[in-house]
Amino acid sequence: MPPGSRLTSSLRSAVVAVALLCAAVSASCGEADEGAPGDAAPDLRADVDRDGRVDTRGDSDEAGEAEWSATRGAVVLANLDDDERACPRLDAAGAPLSDLDLAACHDAADSVVNGPDDLADLTAIELLPWPGAPAGVELSVTWTRADVPTGARLFLLQGGAWTPLPSGALVPPEAARSGASLRLEATEVPRGVSGEGAFVDVTVAAAAGSRAWSDTVRLRVAPVVTQHDRTPARQVLSSRVEGLAGYLDFHDDLVRGVAESGTGVEVTPWPPPALDPWIQDLFELGWMTRPIDGGTHAILVALRSANVTRAVLPSQVTPESPRREAGRMVFDFRGPDTAVVQVFDPTHPVALDTFNSTGNFDRVPPHEAPGGSYPLGRAVRGATPTAYPDRAFTALLDAQEEAPPLELDTSWLRVGHVDEMLAFVPAASARGWAVLIASPRRARAVFEELAGRGLGETPVFAGKLAGASGVTPSAETTVAAVLADEDVMAASLRAAIELDEIASRLTAELGLAPSELVEAPVLFAESLGRAVAYTPSLVNGVSLPPAHLLVPRAHGPRVDGVDVLEASLADGVAALGLTLVPVEDWELFHVNGGEVHCATNLLRGPGTAPWWGGPP
Residue 247 has pLDDT above 60, yes or no: yes
The answer to whether residues 281 and 305 touch, using CB atoms and an 8 Å cutoff, is yes
- The whole-number average pLDDT for the span 477-491 is 98
What is the structure's pLDDT at 317?
59
Of residues 131 and 423, which shows the higher confidence score?
423
Residue type, 606: P
Of residues 196 and 418, which shows the higher confidence score?
418
The CA dihedral of 151, 157, 161, 165, to the nearest 10 degrees, is: -40
Residue 567 has pLDDT above 80, yes or no: yes
Superfamily assignment of 223-408+599-616 in CATH?
Answer: L-arginine/glycine Amidinotransferase; Chain A (3.75.10.10)
What is the structure's pLDDT at 540?
98
What is the structure's pLDDT at 25?
38
pTM: 0.91
> Binning pLDDT at 50, 70 and 90, where does residue 530 land?
very high
The conformation of residue 15, written as its DSSP 8-state character, comes to H
What strand order describes the sheet that includes 283-292?
225-226, 283-292, 295-304, 338-342
Distances (CA, A) of 597 to 141, 475, 581: 50, 23, 13
> Binning pLDDT at 50, 70 and 90, where does residue 132 land?
confident
What is the structure's pLDDT at 318?
65
**pLDDT tens, position by position, 166-199:** 999 999 888 889 999 999 999 999 998 888 899 9
What is the structure's pLDDT at 319?
66
Question: How far apart, in whole angstroms, are the C-alpha atoms of residue 150 and residue 4?
Answer: 25
**pLDDT tens, position by position, 310-343:** 544 455 556 667 788 889 899 999 999 999 999 9
What is the structure's pLDDT at 274?
66
553 CB-contact burial (10 Å; exposed 0-12 / middle 13-18 / buried 19+) = buried
> Binning pLDDT at 50, 70 and 90, where does residue 209 land?
confident
**pLDDT tens, position by position, 263-290:** 999 999 988 766 789 999 999 999 999 9
- The whole-number average pLDDT for the span 498-515 is 96
Which range, of 25-39, 52-66, 340-354, averages the lowest pLDDT?
25-39
Q: Comparing 223-408+599-616 with 410-594, is the CATH topology the same?
A: yes
CATH of domain 9-79+122-221: 2.60.40
Q: Are strands 433-439 and 517-521 parallel, antiparallel or unpaired?
A: parallel
Hey, which of 122-136, 240-254, 548-562 has the most confident mean pLDDT? 548-562
- ω into residue 349 within 30 of 0, thus cis? no
CA 15, distance to chain mean position in Å, is: 42
Residue 150 has pLDDT above 50, yes or no: yes
**pLDDT tens, position by position, 583-611:** 999 999 999 999 999 999 999 989 778 99
> Binning pLDDT at 50, 70 and 90, where does residue 216 land?
very high
What does the mean pLDDT of the chain come to?
A: 90
Residue 233 has pLDDT above 50, yes or no: yes
Question: How far apart, in whole angstroms, are the C-alpha atoms of residue 139 and residue 168?
Answer: 9
Q: Which helix (H) or strand (E) holds 117?
A: helix 115-120
Residue 7 has pLDDT above 50, yes or no: no
- The whole-number average pLDDT for the span 401-406 is 93
Long-range pairs for 24-28: beta carbons < 8 A, 24 or more residues apart: 28/212, 28/213
Question: How far apart, in whole angstroms, are the C-alpha atoms of residue 597 and residue 257?
Answer: 13
The conformation of residue 181, written as its DSSP 8-state character, comes to E
CA terminus-to-terminus distance, the chain: 36
Boundaries of every domain in the chain: 9-79+122-221, 223-408+599-616, 410-594
> Binning pLDDT at 50, 70 and 90, where does residue 614 land?
low
Question: How far apart, in whole angstroms, are the C-alpha atoms of residue 597 and residue 3?
Answer: 57
**Most distant CA atoms of the chain, gap in Å:** 100
> Domain 410-594 is in which class?
alpha beta
What is the structure's pLDDT at 20?
42
The answer to whether residues 405 and 374 touch, using CB atoms and an 8 Å cutoff, is no
178 CB-contact burial (10 Å; exposed 0-12 / middle 13-18 / buried 19+) = middle
Question: How far apart, in whole angstroms, are the C-alpha atoms of residue 47 and residue 125?
Answer: 8
The answer to whether residues 264 and 258 touch, using CB atoms and an 8 Å cutoff, is no
CB atoms within 10 A of CB 197: 22
**3-class SS string, 447-469:** HHHHHHCCCCCCEECCCCECCCC
Q: Are strands 600-604 and 579-583 parallel, antiparallel or unpaired?
A: unpaired
- The whole-number average pLDDT for the span 403-429 is 97
Q: In a 3-state reduction of DSSP, which class is residue 314? A: helix
- ω into residue 291 within 30 of 0, thus cis? no
Q: Which helix (H) or strand (E) holds 426?
A: strand 422-426
Return all residues near 341 (Cβ < 8 A) that are at least 6 apart.
Answer: 80, 103, 189, 224, 301, 302, 303, 304, 396
Backbone CA torsion sign across 256, 257, 261, 263: negative
What is the structure's pLDDT at 189?
98
Return all residues near 606 (Cβ < 8 A) that are at least 6 apart.
Answer: 225, 227, 231, 287, 289, 296, 298, 300
CB atoms within 10 A of CB 386: 7
What is the structure's pLDDT at 1?
31
What share of the chain has pLDDT > 90, as a percent? 79
What share of the chain has pLDDT > 70, as a percent? 90
Of residues 340 and 12, which shows the higher confidence score?
340
